[in-house]
Structure formats: structure tokens, C-alpha cells
């Protein structure tokens, strides 16, 4: 047998102390900040999911779990901004030859691949097993070609969606780590249980050798607790095989190293997928034939482009129909050096911004005009901007790039400046009275920026 | 006047002491188990509906209320599993000549009739009164035939749906009791108030002579509190009639005995319904013409059948369009002696399993692999399996039969073994690495069971 | 420049002391009534939005904020009935020449204009700026006609809808105050954050000179907190203009007085709107071409009319497609002297009743037959009737008029008396047994009222 990875006791599996700390100190202070910050909370609101947000944070992941061939980093969802938006976020780093074990979650999600390339498999019950992998060289007596469900290539700039309860796995067949950020929409109607993020692993031992990890992604695999005989019966195998499935003493965690190349890869294989997909005409409407991914990084397909400003690409339910089902969409923003994005609010969605490159300044205001965020942001940080809150972004010297996950498959923004500005939508005289300005001043306000939403740095100054 | 049922003071109306006990002890312990079981609860979660389920129960109803001609048994919805799934459940036993009084609820529901036969009436405002009952023999001066809305036959194996706020009544015209189980989907968007189950009775005195009963089904009828003169005015009748409507001193409870046969019954009457329904072409899309029931017990219509394994029948929104509106569906499972159903998870629904016959063993695992249920189950028990949790069922000597109510009109399961197994959906090499197995072992895992989901007992053993 | 309104320090901006009082006393009693009223609350319910309503109130607004040219009155949403229905309500009084500043809210809403006439503008990003206002006489060097988005006339009897996050403004060009009542559907899926009502003002200083006001509508405008340079950059204007936008020292509040007539008005202008709307064929499905308003006060379009009883007009999603999107509808009821509306329940919606004229008596019962409301109501009061609760209305000497906001775009009631009565939908014999009545009594109950739902006063009495 060619495949020889065994339990690797040298795999470094450690938990950044911060995580435990957070877990330990929260209970005792549980009531305190709540009471301090809402001293005049009316009675009824204690029954409610209540979000009197005073301060947002641009945060790096708060918890990390190292596995044999990668790292899983979690933004712990007990922070107010995640709770209020009903979302959770995870960053995966999969090293070359790393395999993120098959798992499903209790909420639909979208993933953005910030770097690397690999292959991903998705398993939808009832979809045809139309893929055939080449036969392993060491297959001994098993003479049949391997059949399985759809696999597809994923690479930098791809947006990949997934319904709740649908299992996926990812393998890094490239030379560099795959880094991706996943946004889970816990408050989506497809998740019927609660706002806790749950990963269900079909294999391995996600928590590895650790006692604790971020509860969202650690634990045993789903077979672990079942009776050996019952499982042996269900699979018609011996109990030794069943014990292997349970991965009891597997120390590799949820991203494992595959010792030789997975032989599912063939060079022409991405085209084949396209072709096969087209053949499944009768199932056009089902998950079996829907595409799960689309690239959002192609400048030529930008929705908005301004010469010295930057560009915006979006992928919504019309471009990737799976997102219609998931009720999610994604915006990719690139601001050039010192450029700025129009102040705007999100009409019908929360926007969860992940900074992919560069630095910049972001300000966010709530309904009473108070800023709830005013800070410099940088690569690797994530910021939740609640629905209807007003946001401004300005790049610094190196520019600013981000991906925004939006909790609506047709997310709309309302710009406050530029060509589609809400200010332009109003008659001069309404603005003159409202702002106590002259007509000239109002006209400058309406027409001072002719760009759509990505504004180049000002040449003249006041 | 031939119809003579009066208040029957001898009707045995008693409340099993357990109910009161539960009501009395809960307040004092209200906070305790909550705190004990979630010691590291992050702050935000106290605002939320939070379901860190550690243990499920297969339970008989916890409360029962006897009425003159039947019994109402309630699974009290304060248990964690009901709260988390947002459902409530009730079992009705209607004795021969018993009439379950007209009522509506605040949540859509589906009922499964486990035994008996009777007739049911449904009242949708604006639907035509196209049914005519034969004239009572003692009708004196009232010379007109009785007109009313649709009635239909219900019998063992029927699944009957109902929207929130639509009144129904049921009469037992058979020789044996009607026993039925009703699952109410309180978290359904059609219920806009809260997760408490509320029954609104149009007649009688549901709580009978008792001070207390399960709050879900006891109380007075909806007319009880209104001003006599106001009601007399509304109906243009005298206040004495109004006092009869209020049923103030009615001791019969919500299932009453009808002393002579209800004359709405005529032998050819089921066909008539069919015909009339077809005539209502213009209203095809409305509740007036939709069928409210379908039988789920016909082996010839099984969706899955395995010779020594068993069968599964399902009724979903495609088969009974009313269920599309209700966002509910039903699965009927029959496992033969020692057979077993594939381990699986529910992708997009909670599954509420009611055991209708036999005994068996069920195991349920949550996301971290821990079992939250591992017990023998038997007829009359109800078990909530949350969305995405993994479940295995195995029959004992007498076989195991159940009906599963699902909180999605197109509920899907993802089998983990058998022909549509998620394991089969993955390439050999992914499984070999994940489980640290040889290709032969993996192939046995994938192809050890060729059946769909109901597995016959193993002949060979390991 | 002709337009000269400046900060008016004499504007009377005061807060009725009641508001502050409410804010101050709530915290200390926050837990008390909750515990007292639900002594036997099962454990699970503390996680839930729980609505064991014992008493409803017909209330005037609890808080008012005076602005320069009008008053904003708020029904504070901490009351149980508002919390449970997930709604908030506001009454606006806009004096002649008053301008309600442009703002958007976090929830969709419907407004009913009880008196007056004015013009309203709506700003949807991406909709064409197809309106041109005449050039102001004092426009100096700015030689271009003003272009802006859609404006439309609003007047007494109009129902105006608005999506969440879409900005609107209203100007009173009439001779009498505009009085309107707005119902916000906070629990609508279009609002993703929480059940707090939030107004986002694009201009002015909503809280005026006050330290505090009803938090729902007071505060600064959305530009207030942003960095001056950042905004100047965004609009390409100087920072002085930006400071004017922020309205820091504006004491006029959110309804300001416009000193001369707004010149957007032209007499033929309502027809133009119609015509332009028709031209936008390609956008038929978008918010750009949808009508935002419809009049509900025309007796000739009544859905129900009874000679001495009264009439009902409804506007639902079929009549005003925008309401389909908002999932809201409106009922207008007029009961003549001493007439009465059929007892009924709302099948699929909460009903929020605002009394527009007259006096009457209303009774409301919950599921156990207990009255949760039994009182005289009068003009200006608002009452929440939860889904499925039973309600009776009877006018006094001067008649009773109301507008009911319903939380479903196709709200349905189930009448308990009259031509479509649920009682009529049942066979005689079911009623005879249920109410222990003779056939004659039952027939009187079924046919005592032949009217549809608005019943004339009785001539004969019992």
C-alpha cells in the first residue's frame, strides 16, 4: 500500500493562550458590560436580541488551532459585532499537500481564497458520482476505477459558496499555502437551530491532541460516539475499520498532510468539469448542477472602475445563482494610493469587511451620528459594518484592498457622494433649507464628485 | 328536539399530578441548570435563543387532560429539545362518538393518525359552503338543509396539515378510538408572536372542571370574556344564547360525547368531496381547494423499499401542496426485525420522531462527536433530532415503526452509508488519507452496503 | 440669495417630562414586573422572545419632541405590546412650510396621512433623476435647471410605504398641518439588526437643542461624527461646507421651516409623475418605477359596505405592489353611529389599530378566553392586537374610524359572525353538540346577521 501517513506524534498542535483566557474570564464579567453600557435599557429588551452597538473592532482572529498541515483561526463569535450581525468567521491556512478534512456546518457560508490553489470536493446526497479518478498504482486486487462526486479547482480570488449541511473537503496541490477566509451566516433561515457555529467533521480528530480549542471547530468527528457494532453493521465492515473511522488517537487535527500526491488530479480536469456540468441538463435547477464558485478578482469584469480611484467587483445571486439560495453576496474592493470610497450605507445587508492587502482608514457612524469605528485598518483584519450604518474608507500610501461579505444575495449600497449620491437625488431647495446653504454651495455638494464610488485623490485642495 | 347532551357532571376530568409538580418546581430551579451546563457561556449568548444541547430525551407526553370523550396529552414545550427546535407536540385520543371541539392554533401543524377513523371539518374564511348535510329528523320548523364548509374523512395513516389561525374540528364516527399525534411548528414564520403554543377554542370549556391543565390546551373558549350584550348584538341573538356559547359551566372539556350520530355522514361522501373539489377550478390556488390530507401508510407508494430492511414513505410539498405553504413535511419509516436505517443527518430541517410501533435503539451525535442520545425507544415516545445532528436507528425483534415530522417542506437527509452515502461521494484517496486506511478498506467502506437507506440485518459477521 | 433660514435660537424645543421619567424609572423595575407576571415561567422561555400578554393598552404617544416647524411623537417601543408585535409607531405633525428632513430607517414602514397635503421625495440609489424643478429666481451664476429623483403629492387618506434604508423627505406646501402616523415593522426580515427603531437623518440636527429626546428619533445627523477632511475629500468641497452639513449648532430639530415656497412645486406636476412612471418600462420590476402611495379613503372603492353599518377599505400587496415587498398591508375602517364590526381574529398578521376619529368600545381576548383589553377608545390612540387574538369593535354616538396596519401583505381576518362567519362554516350538529343548543338556536346563531362584517345597530332587542 502506497499511502502511509500514520498518526504523527510530532505534529505541533498548540492553542494560543489567548483563547483560553477569553474563555475563562468571560463568565464572571458576563453581566457587567451589558449593564454598564445600557443603563436605561427598557424592560422588554432583555428578551430580545439587542444591539446597541457603541464600538466596533477591526480584529484579527482571536483563536488559532494548529493542525499537522495548516492552521485554523477563528474570530470568536461572542464579540458583540458578530453576535449582532449573526455571523462567524474563520481563516484557514492549508499548507502544500495539506487536506482540510471533509466537514459540513450548520450555516451557509462563502469563502474567499486570498492566496494559493487547490482542489475542492462537494458532496450533495443524490448527485451523480460522475467523476473518475485514475487508478492508484498500488491498488492491488481492487481493479475498479474510483468514482466520486464533483471536484473543482479553487484558486486565489475565487468565491466559493456552500449551503448548510453540505459536506466539502479541500486539498492543496500547489506549491504555496492556500489562505482563505470564510464567512458563516448563522442567522440565515437555512440554519434552524441557534447562532452558534458548528462544524461537523466526517473524519479525523479535529481537536487533535489538545484538550480544548475554539469550540467552533474542535471536537471529535461525528462517528466518534457511536457504538462500534452499530457502525460496523451500518457499513458491513469489521469493528477495526470502524475504529479507524473514529480517529480516536489521531493527532493530526483537521488539516492533515497527504504523503504522496492525491491522484485525483489530472491536468485537463477543469474543462471536464465544465463539460460534465453542461450535460446534466435535467437537473439544471438542483444543487447538483449549480456552480459553487466564481472568481471575483478579474479587473476586466469590474462593476466600477475609476482611473486613479480603484475598482469594485461584485458577485451576487444573478452572477452565481447558488448565492441566491444562500442569500449572500460578495464585494471585492481595490482602492489605489490615497483614493477613497464614497461614504455610503448598506441598504439591505450587513457588510463584513476583510482587509486583504494594504492599509487605510475607516470610519463608521451609527444612527445618532456617533462614530462607532474610527481607526487604521490593515491586512488580516475583519470589521463588521451593520446594516444602515454609514461607512467611509480611505487608502493610505500602499492602497487598500478588501473583500466584503454581505448578508443579502442582492446587497445594495446607497452612496452619499458621487454620481449616484443620495444628495443628488434631492432638489436643490430641499438641500438649501436642510443644510442652510446657498444654491452654489448645494450645487458643489451635488456635483463636486463625478465619479461613481471610487474617488481619486483630490488634486486641488481647500 | 332530539339532541340532548347536557353538562355531564359525572365526566371524569382529572389532571395527572405530574403536570402540577412540573409547574411548581420549575421556577426555583429556573436559573440553575442553565448556569451549570454552560459555564463558559460567552456574554453575547445571553441575548440569544441558545441551544447547547447535551442530552435529548425520548419522552412520553408529560401532561394529560381528560375530557368527557377523550384525552389530550401534551409534551410540555419547556423542555430544551422542544424549545430549541421551536416545536410543540400533542397527542389526542378521541373516543367513539367523541367530538374534538372546533379550535385554531397560533402555529401551523401536521397531524398523523396512528389509529381509528373519523371526519374532520376545516373552516377557511371566504371558502364556499358547498356541503349539505341531511336534515335532522327532529328539525321542527327549520325546514332548510344545513350548509357548511368542507368536511373530509380521516383515518389511520393520514397526514393532515393546517395553517396557523384556521379552525378545525374532528368527530369520531368509528368503533375504536382515534389516536393522533400533532406537531406544531411554533418557529414557523406564519406564527408572528412567540414560541408559546396557543389553542383558541370556538366552543366548550377546554379546561373543564379543572383549576389548571397544561396551559397549551386549557382555558375557556374565546367568547368567554366578551360582554354578553356585545356578543348578543354581534349575533343578533338573546343573551341566553350567548351564555350558552360561553360554556361557562360546561364540565365536558374539549372532547365531548355526541349522544346520537352526527348526521353529516353519508356513505358516498368521500367521493363527493373529491368531485366538489375538482369543480372549484377558479380557486385552484387558494386554501379553499387545496387538499388538507394524504395517506402515508401505503407500502405500494413507498419511496424506499428494501426486502429485509424496511420502507420509507414521505409526504412533502410536492405531493401535498398545502405542505409547501406550511413549510413542513413528514416521513414514515418501517424497519423490519433487526434491520437498521443508515446513519444520516438532516440537511435542512429538524426531525421530530414519534415511535408508532415496536422497539429499537437510537443514537444521536452532535457536532463534536458526543452522543446526545443513546437509548432504547418504544411506542408512544417522541424524540427531537436537531438539524445536522447524526442519527442511527436499529430495530429490535418486533421491528420499529415511526413517523418523523420535519420542519421543511422539502426536507433532505444526507446518508452516511449505503448507495447514496456521503462516503461514496469522496475519492478513495481522500478517504485513505482521512481515515488512514488502505484502498481495500476504503472500498469496503464505500461499497459494503448496496441498499439505499434501510439495511437488512447482516448475514456474515466480523 | 433668497433663502435665509438660519439657526433660530428662539425655536421652542422641549421634551415632555414624561419621557425622561420613563427613562429614569425603568431600569430599577426592569426585572420586577417580568418576574411577578410570569411566576411559573418554564426555564427555556428565558432565552426567548416571550409574550404572555395580560393587558394591552390603547395609548397616546408617550414621548414628544418639538421641532421648529412641527412635532414628532413616539410610542416608546419598550411597552410589551410593541415589543411582542415587533413594531414601533410615530406621529408626525408638519406645519405649513415645514420640511421633515431627509432620513431613512432600519425597518420598512407604512404611513397613513390623517390630515393635510404636501409633497414627498424618495431617493433610491440608481433610479434616474428624471424630475426637473424650475430654476430659482435668485440662482445667480448657476445656470442649470435642477434635476432630482421622484417627488409625489401626498394628502389626507394616503397610505405611503417605504423599504428599510431608503431615504425620504416631506414638505408641507398646504395651509394646514400635515398629521400622519407611521408604523414601522421592526421584526420584518428586511431589518437584519435588532428590534430597536433607528432613524438616520441625512441633514439637520434631529435632537435640536435638547440633551435627550426619544432615542428613536433624536441624535445628530449621520455626517456629524465623520472627520471634516475626509468628508471634504469625499465631496470635493471645503471643510466649511462640511461643517454646514453636520448641522452642529442647528437648533431647529428635524422639522424645519422653509422661509419661502420650495420651487419644486408646479400645479400639473402630479400628472407628470404618472406619465414619467409609465415611460420607465424597462425598470417595471424595480423600486424606481413602483408607486409608493395609494389613497385608502375613497368610499366608492370600499371592499365592504353596509348601509347603516360602515365600510372597510384595504390596500394590500395586490393593490399596491410595493406592499408585497414590504410584507405589510393597511385596513381603513369606518363604523357608523352605534354600529359594530364582527368579532374576528387576524389569521396571519398582527393588527395595529390607530383611531382616527370618534369613540367606541373595543374588547380583545386571548387564547384562554380572558380579555386582555376592554376599554373605550378615542381619536389619537393606538392599540396592538396580536395575531389570532379575538377582537370586537363597537362605535358610540359619533361613530368610530380607524386605520389598521397589518404585518402581512395579504392579511386575512376570520369573522365569527355575519355572512363569512366561522360559525356558518360548521354543520348544525357540530354546533348543537358544541354549544349544547337546539337546532333552532344554532340556526339563529348562524343566520342572525346577514351582513358581511360591518353590522348596523340592532332594531329589535332581546
Predicted confidence (pLDDT) per residue in B139-159, tens digit: 444 556 788 888 899 999 999
Instruction: Give the pLDDT band of residue B129 (cuts 50, 70, 90).
Output: confident
Q: Which of A330, B263, B158 is nearest to C439 (CA)?
A: B263
Q: What is the pLDDT of residue C279?
A: 45
Q: What is the pLDDT of residue C143?
A: 58
Q: How far is C308 from chain B (nearest CA, A)?
A: 14
Q: How far is B377 from chain A (nearest CA, A)?
A: 16
CB-CB under 8 Å, C148 with A370: no
Q: Same domain for A278 and A304?
A: no
* Closest in C7, C27, C140 to A39, CB measured: C27
Torsion sign over Cα B53, B54, B60, B62: negative
Q: How far is A331 from chain B (nearest CA, A)?
A: 27
CB-CB under 8 Å, A256 with B429: no
Residue C436 lies in a domain: yes
Cell matching residue B100? 374534538
* Closest in B144, B199, B230 to C363, CB measured: B230
Residue A188 is given by DSSP the state: S
Count of B-C CB contacts under 8 Å: 280
Residues A339-392: tens digit of each pLDDT: 999 999 999 999 999 999 999 999 999 999 999 999 999 999 999 999 999 999
* Closest in A40, A429, A458 to C263, CB measured: A429
Show the 3-state SS of chain B.
CCCCCCCCCCCCCCECHHHHHHHHHHHHHCCHHHHHHCCCCCHHHHHCCCCCCCCCCCECCCEEEEECCEEEEEECCCCHHHHHHCEEEEEEEECCCEEEEEEEECCCEEEEEEECEEEEEEECCCCCCCEEECCCCCCCCCCCCEEECCEEEEECCEEEEECCCCEEEEECCCCCCEEEEEEEECCCCCCCCCCCCCEEECCCCCCCCCCCCCCCCCCCCCCCCCCHHHHHHHHCCCHHHHHHHHCCCCCCCCEEECCCCCCCCCCCHHHHHHHHHHHCHHHCCCCCCCCCEEECCCHHHCCEEECCCEEEEEECCCCCCHHHHHCCEEEEEEECCCCEEEEEEECCCCEEEEEEEEEEEEEEECCCCCEEEEEEEECCCEEEECCCCEEEEEEEEEEEEEEEEECCCCCCEEECCCCCCCCCCCCHHHHHHHHCCCHHHHHHHHHCCCCCCEECCCCCCC
For residue A453, the chain C residue with the least C-alpha distance is: C234
Q: How far is B106 from chain C (nearest CA, A)?
A: 7
Residue A2 lies in a domain: no
Q: What is the pLDDT of residue C16?
A: 35
**Chain A residues whose beta carbon lies within 8 Å of the beta carbon of residue B458:** 233, 236
Instruction: Give the pLDDT band of residue A145 (cuts 50, 70, 90).
Output: confident
Q: What is the pLDDT of residue C312?
A: 97
Total structural domains within chain C: 2
Q: Same domain for C56 and C179?
A: yes
d(CA A330, CA A345): 16
Q: What is the pLDDT of residue B209?
A: 66
CB-CB under 8 Å, B441 with A121: no
**Chain A residues whose beta carbon lies within 8 Å of the beta carbon of residue B415:** 125
**Chain C residues whose beta carbon lies within 8 Å of the beta carbon of residue B239:** 462
CB-CB under 8 Å, B422 with A167: yes
**Chain B residues whose beta carbon lies within 8 Å of the beta carbon of residue C425:** 121, 123-125, 127, 129, 148-149, 167
Q: Same domain for A426 and A350?
A: yes
Q: Same domain for C275 and C311?
A: no
Q: How far is A370 from chain B (nearest CA, A)?
A: 22
Domain boundary among C259, C283, C307: C283
CB-CB under 8 Å, B392 with A226: yes
What is the mean pLDDT of the segment spanning A165-193? 96
What is the mean pLDDT of the segment spanning B132-144? 54
Q: What is the pLDDT of residue B33?
A: 25
Q: What is the pLDDT of residue B211?
A: 59
**Chain C residues whose beta carbon lies within 8 Å of the beta carbon of residue B50:** 47
Residue A47 lies in a domain: no
* Closest in A342, A388, A441 to C106, CB measured: A388
Q: What ipTM did this prediction achieve?
A: 0.86
**Chain C residues whose beta carbon lies within 8 Å of the beta carbon of residue A387:** 106, 164-165, 191-193
Domain boundary among C252, C283, C314: C283
**Chain B residues whose beta carbon lies within 8 Å of the beta carbon of residue C48:** 49, 83, 194-195
Write the burial class of residue C191 (CB in 10 Å: 0-12 exposed, 13-18 middle, 19+ buried). buried
Q: What is the pLDDT of residue A281?
A: 39
CB-CB under 8 Å, B462 with A239: yes
Q: Same domain for A267 and A306?
A: no
**Chain C residues whose beta carbon lies within 8 Å of the beta carbon of residue A413:** 125
B256-277 burial: b if 16+ Cβ within 10 Å, else e: bbbeeebbbbeeeeeeebeeeb
Residue A6 lies in a domain: no
Q: Same domain for C347 and C220?
A: no
Chains touching C by CB (3 or more pairs below 8 Å)? A, B
Domain that holds residue B119: 17-283
**Chain A residues whose beta carbon lies within 8 Å of the beta carbon of residue C170:** none
Q: How far is A232 from chain C (nearest CA, A)?
A: 38
d(CA C311, CA C294): 18
- For C367, residues 6+ apart whose C-beta sits below 8 A from its C-beta are B106, B198, B199, B200, B219, B222, C388, C389
CB-CB under 8 Å, B430 with A171: yes
Q: Which of C122, B229, C275, B19 is nearest to A425 (CA)?
A: C122
Residue B171 lies in a domain: yes
Q: Same domain for A249 and A301?
A: no
Domain boundary among C229, C252, C283: C283
Residue C134 is given by DSSP the state: P
Q: Which of A35, A47, A81, A437 to mutate to test the interface with C (most CBs of C within 10 A)?
A: A47
Choose between A99 and C31: higher pLDDT.
A99
DSSP class per residue in A399-435 = EEEEEEEESSTT--EEESSSTT-TTTTS-HHHHHHHH
CB-CB under 8 Å, A222 with B365: yes
Q: Same domain for A63 and A154?
A: yes
Residue C8 lies in a domain: no
Q: Same domain for C186 and C114?
A: yes
d(CA C355, CA C350): 16
> Does A271 have pLDDT greater than 80?
no
Judge contact between A353 and A401, C-beta under 8 A. no
Q: Which of B185, B437, B177, B456 is nearest to B310 (CA)?
A: B456
CB-CB under 8 Å, C414 with B203: no
Residue C2 lies in a domain: no
d(CA C338, CA A134): 86
CATH number for the domain that contains residue A428? 2.60.120.10
Q: How far is C234 from chain A (nearest CA, A)?
A: 6
Q: Same domain for C258 and C326?
A: no
d(CA A341, CA A418): 10
Q: Same domain for A451 and A327?
A: yes
**Residue A448: CA atoms inside 13 Å, Cβ hemisphere, count?**
27
**Chain B residues whose beta carbon lies within 8 Å of the beta carbon of residue A228:** none
pLDDT by position in tens, chain C (length 462): 233 333 333 333 333 333 433 333 322 222 222 222 222 233 333 334 589 999 999 999 999 999 999 999 999 777 889 999 999 999 999 999 999 999 999 999 999 999 999 999 999 988 887 676 665 544 444 556 788 888 899 999 999 999 999 999 999 999 999 999 999 999 999 999 999 999 999 999 988 766 566 776 678 999 999 999 999 999 999 999 999 999 988 999 999 999 877 766 543 455 455 444 444 443 345 778 889 999 999 999 999 999 999 999 999 999 999 999 999 999 999 999 999 999 999 999 999 999 999 999 999 999 999 999 999 999 999 999 999 999 999 999 999 999 999 999 999 999 999 999 999 999 999 999 999 999 999 999 999 999 999 999 986 554
Chains touching A by CB (3 or more pairs below 8 Å)? B, C
Q: Same domain for C190 and C249?
A: yes
* Closest in A142, A169, A215 to B440, CB measured: A142
Q: How far is B20 from chain A (nearest CA, A)?
A: 26
Residue A5 lies in a domain: no
Q: What is the pLDDT of residue C169?
A: 96
CB-CB under 8 Å, A247 with B427: no
CB-CB under 8 Å, A427 with C151: yes
Q: How far is A374 from chain B (nearest CA, A)?
A: 23
**Chain A residues whose beta carbon lies within 8 Å of the beta carbon of residue C151:** 427
**Chain C residues whose beta carbon lies within 8 Å of the beta carbon of residue B201:** 369
d(CA A105, CA A109): 8
Amino acid at each position: 500500500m502506497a499511502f502511509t501517513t500514520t498518526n504523527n506524534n510530532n505534529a505541533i498542535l498548540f492553542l494560543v493562550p489567548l483563547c483560553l483566557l477569553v474563555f475563562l474570564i468571560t463568565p464572571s464579567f458576563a453581566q457587567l458590560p451589558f449593564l454598564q453600557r445600557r443603563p436605561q435599557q427598557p424592560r422588554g429588551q432583555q428578551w430580545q436580541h439587542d444591539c446597541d452597538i457603541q464600538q466596533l473592532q477591526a480584529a484579527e482572529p482571536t483563536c488559532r488551532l494548529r493542525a499537522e498541515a495548516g492552521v485554523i483561526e477563528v474570530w470568536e463569535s461572542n464579540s458583540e459585532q458578530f453576535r449582532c450581525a449573526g455571523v462567524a468567521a474563520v481563516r484557514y491556512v492549508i499548507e502544500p499537500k495539506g487536506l482540510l478534512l471533509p466537514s459540513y456546518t450548520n450555516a451557509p457560508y462563502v469563502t474567499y481564497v486570498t492566496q494559493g490553489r487547490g482542489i475542492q470536493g462537494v458532496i450533495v446526497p443524490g448527485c451523480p458520482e460522475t467523476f473518475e479518478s485514475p487508478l492508484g498504482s498500488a491498488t492491488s486486487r481492487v481493479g475498479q476505477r474510483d468514482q466520486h462526486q464533483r471536484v473543482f479547482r479553487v484558486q486565489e480570488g475565487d468565491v466559493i459558496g456552500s449551503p448548510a449541511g453540505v459536506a466539502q473537503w479541500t486539498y492543496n496541490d500547489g506549491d504555496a499555502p492556500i489562505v482563505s477566509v470564510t464567512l458563516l451566516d448563522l442567522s440565515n433561515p437555512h440554519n434552524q437551530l441557534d447562532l452558534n457555529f458548528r462544524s461537523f467533521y466526517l473524519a479525523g480528530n479535529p481537536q487533535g491532541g489538545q484538550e480544548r480549542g475554539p469550540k467552533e471547530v474542535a471536537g471529535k468527528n461525528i462517528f466518534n460516539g457511536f457504538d462500534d457494532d452499530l457502525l460496523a453493521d451500518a457499513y458491513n465492515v469489521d469493528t477495526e475499520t470502524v475504529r479507524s473511522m473514529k480517529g480516536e488517537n489521531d493527532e493530526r487535527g483537521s488539516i492533515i498532510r497527504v504523503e504522496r500526491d492525491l491522484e485525483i488530479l489530472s491536468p485537463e480536469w477543469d474543462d471536464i468539469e465544465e463539460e460534465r456540468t453542461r450535460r446534466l441538463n435535467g437537473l439544471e435547477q438542483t444543487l447538483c448542477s449549480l456552480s459553487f464558485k466564481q472568481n471575483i478578482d478579474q479587473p476586466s469584469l469590474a462593476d466600477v472602475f475609476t482611473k486613479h480611484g480603484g475598482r469594485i467587483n461584485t458577485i451576487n445571486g444573478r452572477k452565481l445563482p447558488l448565492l441566491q439560495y444562500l442569500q449572500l453576496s460578495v464585494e471585492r474592493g481595490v482602492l489605489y494610493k490615497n483614493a477613497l470610497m464614497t461614504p455610503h450605507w448598506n441598504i439591505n445587508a450587513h457588510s463584513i469587511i476583510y482587509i486583504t492587502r494594504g492599509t487605510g482608514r475607516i470610519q463608521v457612524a451609527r444612527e445618532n451620528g456617533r462614530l462607532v469605528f474610527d481607526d487604521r485598518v490593515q491586512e488580516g483584519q475583519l470589521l463588521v459594518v451593520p446594516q444602515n450604518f454609514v461607512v467611509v474608507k480611505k487608502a493610505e500610501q500602499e492602497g487598500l484592498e478588501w473583500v466584503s461579505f454581505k448578508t443579502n444575495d442582492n446587497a445594495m449600497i446607497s452612496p452619499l457622494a458621487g454620481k449616484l449620491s443620495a444628495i443628488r437625488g434631492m432638489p436643490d431647495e430641499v438641500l438649501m433649507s436642510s443644510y442652510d446653504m446657498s444654491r452654489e454651495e448645494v450645487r458643489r455638494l451635488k456635483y463636486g464628485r463625478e465619479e461613481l464610488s471610487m474617488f481619486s485623490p483630490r488634486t486641488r485642495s481647500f
